[in-house]
A and B are shown apart, each in its own frame.
Chain A
Amino acid sequence: MLNTSYSAAAQLRADMPLFTGPNWDYGSLRRVYEAIERIAFDELGLDIYPVQIEVITSEQMLDAYSSVGLPLMYHHWSFGKRFAYHETLYRKGLQGLAYEIVINSNPVICYIMEENSMTMQTLVLAHAAFGHNHFFKNNYLFRQWTDADGILDYLSFARDYVAKCEERYGLEAVERVLDAAHALKEHGVNRYAHRSRPNLAEETRRAEERRIHAETTYNDLWRTVPKLANDEDDLDDEEKLHEEMSRQLGLPEENLLYFIEKRAPRLEDWQRELIRIVRNISQYFYPQKQLQLMNEGCATFCHYEIMNRLHDRGLITEGSMLEFLHSHSSVIFQPGFDDPRFSGFNPYALGFAMMSDIRRICEKPTGEDRDFFPEIAGCGDPFGVLRDAWANYRDESFILQYLTPRVIRDFRLFHVADDSSKPSLRVEAIHDELGYRRIRSALSRQYDLSRREPDIQVVDVDLTGDRCLVLAHYVHDGVLLDEKTCRSVLRYTAYLWGYSVKLLEIEAATDNTLKTYEAEGK
């Protein structure tokens, strides 16, 4: 198809730019890819999945948007809604399209738009095909939770399965299940890897070990010690039965969709499979939600580094460099809180700033840095430190570890406490000596998914009575659920469960029940 003699030509004339002019073609894409590859492997030490670059049109980009960035997806009206929404914004000119979308699969699929100029394609390759790619392959959360080899196959299975169900049971029936499952999708993830269940041989071996331990440490004296009244005797039979049942059901369970899929009394097999599909896809996105800042930061840092190195070597022209800097600076723009454009932190901006600052500390530390980061200050190996951070942290822990005073000052961060019982907000900390650590931990909490999302668990099922499912929302700092959406979600839950569902808002600190919601099953 495409020949590879370009790389040899490029090497011969390293002082020549890889491309000139705005138009791209396959030859220059390949030349640029190879030039970036050398920098990424030899100088930054990146480690990536193989790459597949797919050229698409803007309409296809909108398509990809609507199916949450995945290349294939089952059909559901909500994706149509998202498409209509983005299309309107795009047509009105309120929103530009992303230059690229990258899929965490093996090989990594990197969509690039045909409208991009060659400079933009270079940026996109550096950003997505190398930055994101390295992060996908190395971060511990992705390694633990995401099956990069299998995701595309699974999506195509899901799409076909949903289509088959629609054919057999009707669009409406399928839509009802998917709607309901979508309402619970944030609560359809396992937050902790389950301990693998030991097999029988393993169990026997451990029982044997315990017995030997008991034998070797046997002391007859213990027999003479008077026994305490046994706790278990205090429980009457009913309570015991209840406890046994909870244990068998695996309660409490925070993966609501898992529980419903396995235990809902009235679902049919295909409905359970649909729930499982929603759950699995939700699980696929679970790491991404915790890694937004780092993922974008890593990609942005990589593309900035790579573009600069290409420029230093005369591989891209001054014009391209200016074009790149223009779009780079708009990507890392962070409006202040009082700016009408403000809508939270820009993950590109904060991530890039933090990673650039890590590099500075490694290379040119100040006294302050030596106080805060004695282990990396002046170590001279910024990419080693960064690679370690990219591999072993998530947003929350990364901020807690690496948010430097310098970044806090540059962004002019401040910490506001919002107590709904008081008439005004209070500034708790600003960018000063006393504030750095408080801001750092407060911002880290802000990125903690377990605090951002309500903590909801299945706590009880009345299997012997009316089969009512009881959920509990553990309330921290008095933050309750939004009433309106809570009621609609409960209705969906009751539809899946088939019987009535109750939700208790329980204050985690005191175990007081603050509020009760109920939804009737049909």
Chain B
Amino acid sequence: MNIVDRRANPKGKSLSNRQRFLGRARAEVKSAVQEALRKRKVADVEHGEKVAIPTRGITEPIFHHNRRTGKTDLVVPGNKEYVRGDEIPRPTGGEGQGGREGSPDGGGEDAFEFTLTRDEFLDMFFEDLELPDLVKKTLKDTTAVDLQRAGYTVTGSPSNLSIPRTMRLSMARRISLKRPKLSDLEALREQLEEARANDDEAESERIARELERQERRSKIIPYIDPIDVRYRRFDRVPRPNTEAVMFCLMDVSGSMTEAMKDLAKRFFMLLHIFLTRRYRHVDVVFVRHTSTAEEVDEETFFYSRETGGTVVSTALEKMLEIARARYSTDRWNIYGAQASDGDNYGADSSRCVSLLGGEVLPLCQYFAYVEVGDNMGGSLTGLSRDSDLWRAYNEVAPAHPHFAMRRVGDPSQIFTVFHELFAKGGVRA
């Protein structure tokens, strides 16, 4: 009997099966994910999700009998009251007591339920989204360089010496040239001693000669020869500079009801997860404004409360100020997203238009404006009365293809709007 400890074996042997399965059920899983997202809070998005998908695409049919036809005999245990000749009413609910054997593939259930990991879940959700035009600008100035493995070479710095490859070649050479092993030499020496001890002249003579020959051989053929040595080779490949910064602007004034703020926060939260997930080197700047604007950290942006008037232009100014100070356009791609209820202080809207059209948009790769309202997406009246800011921004929009506007009135629309804004290939307003 042998005992083998397999516990240390690599985990996730069935990972590739799981990926195949998810790929197979992709369409179903995806709609289940969207459905799940509609129902849950954004803060929960980051966790994995239990999804139930219909078994349609993943059935494994085989031929089997239809239990409701013909005559079948059944032997079952646990008789309590029946005697021969008793009639038992056919059990309702289809299958009957003996028919509960189920379909042989363990399928048969209407919905197949399992848990996605967080990564799988988010992958599914963000699958066809892309930050628009990310690399366009920066391809011009490629400064960073990546090292990429590119086989082996016979010259190089000692730090790049590849020991396994070198030893392999050395061993191959030693074997092919029949370099005697240390143990062979030892054995010969022992034989020699033995022969000498036995006073076997001829034999010890022969062994001594053999030993001398082998020793010479092992001197001539080195253990490691310079021709064995190999170094790891690296290629230098230019890496496109994809540094990007995202400005999140949010109105937190008194006119924004809690529901609206919640909507805006949901939108940004989603944006935040999307960005941090998709791009490793994306800076996110949070700017919130009432009648004044300030840069805040993530926590404050999402969770603190604030009241006051509304001057939207302050946020745009703040954004410009930060951009000029920290994110020069020749190094950074700049993106902006703004959420507001559309209310603005009297004459400020015109200032916003000039700021946006004249300074912000030329700076930006992409700018999205999301207007939140109480169920306005759903009702006609809400749609018919455009807000000040909406009307103002509408003037700017036609001239700038990289500016998009959307309305959101209900949490369930957040995801569709988000998808529209960042869909690959980009739907523009």
Q: CB within 8 Å of B: which residues of A?
A: 2, 26, 29-30, 33, 50-57, 59-60, 62-63, 66-67, 75-85, 87-88, 91, 107, 111, 114, 129, 171, 175, 179, 182-187, 334-339, 342-345, 411-420, 423-432, 434-435, 439, 442-443, 445-446, 453-454, 456, 473, 475-486, 488-489, 492
B23 neighbours in A (Cβ, 8 Å): 77
User: In the complex, are the beta carbons of B73 and A442 less than 8 A apart?
Assistant: yes
CB-based nearest A residue for B11: A59
Scan B1-33; emit 1 where CB is below 8 A from any A CB, else 0.
111111101010110111111111000000000
Scan B60-84; emit 1 where CB is below 8 A from any A CB, else 0.
1111111111111111111110111
User: Interface size bucket, B side?
Assistant: 35 or more
B155 at the interface (CB under 8 A from A): no
User: In the complex, are the beta carbons of A80 and B83 less than 8 A apart?
Assistant: no
How close is B422's CB to chain A, nearest CB, in angstroms? Answer: 28
User: In the complex, are the beta carbons of B62 and A185 less than 8 A apart?
Assistant: yes
A439 neighbours in B (Cβ, 8 Å): 75
How close is B379's CB to chain A, nearest CB, in angstroms? Answer: 42
Determine the main DSSP class of A at the interface with B. mixed
Given A171-B20, A342-B100, A427-B86, answer yes or no on A85-B73 (Cβ-Cβ < 8 Å): no
Q: Which residue of A85, A87, A171, A414 contacts B82 across the interface (Cβ within 8 Å)?
A: A414
B65 neighbours in A (Cβ, 8 Å): 454, 479-482
Given A55-B5, A114-B7, answer yes or no on A413-B62 (Cβ-Cβ < 8 Å): no
Q: How far apart are the CA atoms of A479 and B106 in the complex, in Å? A: 22
A431 neighbours in B (Cβ, 8 Å): 79
User: In the complex, are the beta carbons of A183 and B62 less than 8 A apart?
Assistant: yes
Given A425-B88, A435-B84, answer yes or no on A78-B4 (Cβ-Cβ < 8 Å): no
A sample of 24 cross-chain residue pairs with beta-carbon separation below 8 angstroms, ordered by A number, consists of A56-B9, A75-B17, A78-B58, A79-B14, A79-B21, A80-B14, A80-B20, A84-B112, A107-B2, A175-B20, A175-B24, A342-B76, A342-B97, A412-B79, A412-B80, A413-B75, A413-B77, A417-B73, A427-B86, A430-B82, A430-B83, A431-B79, A446-B75, A482-B63
User: In the complex, are the beta carbons of A182 and B79 less than 8 A apart?
Assistant: no
Q: How far apart are the CA atoms of A368 and B42 in the complex, in Å? A: 73
Q: How far apart are the CA atoms of A301 and B188 in the complex, in Å? A: 61
Q: How far apart are the CA atoms of A416 and B62 in the complex, in Å? A: 27
How close is A418's CB to chain B, nearest CB, in angstroms? Answer: 5
How close is A200's CB to chain B, nearest CB, in angstroms? Answer: 40
B330 at the interface (CB under 8 A from A): no
Q: How far apart are the CA atoms of A138 and B176 in the complex, in Å? A: 50
5 interchain residue pairs of minimum CB distance: A336-B78, A478-B70, A80-B21, A80-B17, A479-B70
A52 neighbours in B (Cβ, 8 Å): 1-4
How close is B27's CB to chain A, nearest CB, in angstroms? Answer: 14
How close is B378's CB to chain A, nearest CB, in angstroms? Answer: 37
CB-based nearest B residue for A114: B7
User: In the complex, are the beta carbons of B74 and A418 less than 8 A apart?
Assistant: yes
User: In the complex, are the beta carbons of A33 and B6 less than 8 A apart?
Assistant: no
Q: Which residue of A26, A66, A414, A419 contacts B79 across the interface (Cβ within 8 Å)?
A: A414
B151 neighbours in A (Cβ, 8 Å): none
CB-based nearest A residue for B105: A78
Q: How far apart are the CA atoms of A434 and B70 in the complex, in Å? A: 26
How close is A409's CB to chain B, nearest CB, in angstroms? Answer: 10
A426 neighbours in B (Cβ, 8 Å): 85-88
A175 neighbours in B (Cβ, 8 Å): 20, 24
A62 neighbours in B (Cβ, 8 Å): 14
A129 neighbours in B (Cβ, 8 Å): 1
B71 neighbours in A (Cβ, 8 Å): 417-420, 477-479
User: In the complex, are the beta carbons of A425 and B4 less than 8 A apart?
Assistant: no
B328 at the interface (CB under 8 A from A): no
Which of B16, B23, B79, B80 has the most CB atoms of chain A within a 10 A radius of its CB? B79
CB-based nearest B residue for A64: B13
User: In the complex, are the beta carbons of A337 and B14 less than 8 A apart?
Assistant: no
Given A343-B101, A479-B72, A480-B69, answer yes or no on A412-B62 (Cβ-Cβ < 8 Å): no
CB-based nearest A residue for B2: A52
Q: Which residue of A66, A424, A485 contacts B61 across the interface (Cβ within 8 Å)?
A: A485
Q: Which residue of B9, B59, B96, B112 contacts A418 across the interface (Cβ within 8 Å)?
A: B96
B153 at the interface (CB under 8 A from A): no
Q: Which residue of A77, A186, A475 contacts B70 across the interface (Cβ within 8 Å)?
A: A475
B18 neighbours in A (Cβ, 8 Å): 80, 83-84
B94 neighbours in A (Cβ, 8 Å): none
B114 at the interface (CB under 8 A from A): yes
User: In the complex, are the beta carbons of A344 and B14 less than 8 A apart?
Assistant: no
14 extra A-B contacts, CB within 8 A, seeds A84-B115, A186-B62, A337-B97:
A50-B2, A53-B1, A54-B3, A67-B14, A77-B23, A87-B115, A88-B114, A129-B1, A337-B78, A339-B78, A414-B79, A442-B75, A479-B71, A479-B72
Q: How far apart are the CA atoms of A175 and B89 in the complex, in Å? A: 46
User: In the complex, are the beta carbons of A76 and B20 less than 8 A apart?
Assistant: yes
Q: How far apart are the CA atoms of A294 and B71 in the complex, in Å? A: 27
User: In the complex, are the beta carbons of A456 and B88 less than 8 A apart?
Assistant: no
User: In the complex, are the beta carbons of B62 and A485 less than 8 A apart?
Assistant: yes
A345 neighbours in B (Cβ, 8 Å): 77
B212 neighbours in A (Cβ, 8 Å): none
Q: How far apart are the CA atoms of A141 and B170 in the complex, in Å? A: 53
B186 at the interface (CB under 8 A from A): no
Q: How far apart are the CA atoms of A66 and B16 in the complex, in Å? A: 12
User: In the complex, are the beta carbons of A412 and B2 less than 8 A apart?
Assistant: no
Q: How far apart are the CA atoms of A416 and B104 in the complex, in Å? A: 22
B308 at the interface (CB under 8 A from A): no
CB-based nearest A residue for B70: A478
B102 at the interface (CB under 8 A from A): yes
User: In the complex, are the beta carbons of A488 and B61 less than 8 A apart?
Assistant: yes
B385 at the interface (CB under 8 A from A): no
Q: How far apart are the CA atoms of A186 and B63 in the complex, in Å? A: 8
Which residues of B253-288 are within 8 A (CB) of A?
Answer: none
Q: How far apart are the CA atoms of A489 and B68 in the complex, in Å? A: 20
Which residues of B215-234 are within 8 A (CB) of A?
Answer: none
CB-based nearest A residue for B5: A55
User: In the complex, are the beta carbons of A85 and B83 less than 8 A apart?
Assistant: no
B238 at the interface (CB under 8 A from A): no
User: In the complex, are the beta carbons of A337 and B77 less than 8 A apart?
Assistant: yes
B113 at the interface (CB under 8 A from A): yes
User: In the complex, are the beta carbons of A51 and B1 less than 8 A apart?
Assistant: yes
CB-based nearest B residue for A439: B75
How close is A53's CB to chain B, nearest CB, in angstroms? Answer: 5
Q: How far apart are the CA atoms of A456 and B65 in the complex, in Å? A: 11
Q: How far apart are the CA atoms of A128 and B340 in the complex, in Å? A: 68
B68 neighbours in A (Cβ, 8 Å): 420
User: In the complex, are the beta carbons of B78 and A446 less than 8 A apart?
Assistant: no
B98 at the interface (CB under 8 A from A): yes
Given A80-B21, A480-B70, A485-B63, answer yes or no on A30-B1 (Cβ-Cβ < 8 Å): yes
CB-based nearest B residue for A50: B1
Q: How far apart are the CA atoms of A425 and B96 in the complex, in Å? A: 10
A430 neighbours in B (Cβ, 8 Å): 79, 82-84
Q: Which residue of A51, A416, A442, A481 contacts B64 across the interface (Cβ within 8 Å)?
A: A481
Q: How far apart are the CA atoms of A344 and B98 in the complex, in Å? A: 7
B112 neighbours in A (Cβ, 8 Å): 81, 84-85
User: In the complex, are the beta carbons of A481 and B63 less than 8 A apart?
Assistant: yes
Which residues of B97-132 are within 8 A (CB) of A?
Answer: 97-98, 100-104, 106, 112-115
How close is A144's CB to chain B, nearest CB, in angstroms? Answer: 24
A486 neighbours in B (Cβ, 8 Å): 63
Q: How far apart are the CA atoms of A481 and B103 in the complex, in Å? A: 13
B90 at the interface (CB under 8 A from A): yes
Which of A51, A337, A411, A430 has the most CB atoms of chain B within a 10 A radius of its CB? A337
CB-based nearest A residue for B97: A337
Q: How far apart are the CA atoms of A202 and B23 in the complex, in Å? A: 55
A477 neighbours in B (Cβ, 8 Å): 70-72
User: In the complex, are the beta carbons of A338 and B97 less than 8 A apart?
Assistant: yes
Given A52-B2, A53-B2, answer yes or no on A80-B22 (Cβ-Cβ < 8 Å): yes
A76 neighbours in B (Cβ, 8 Å): 17, 20
CB-based nearest B residue for A425: B88
User: In the complex, are the beta carbons of B21 and A344 less than 8 A apart?
Assistant: no
User: In the complex, are the beta carbons of A454 and B13 less than 8 A apart?
Assistant: no
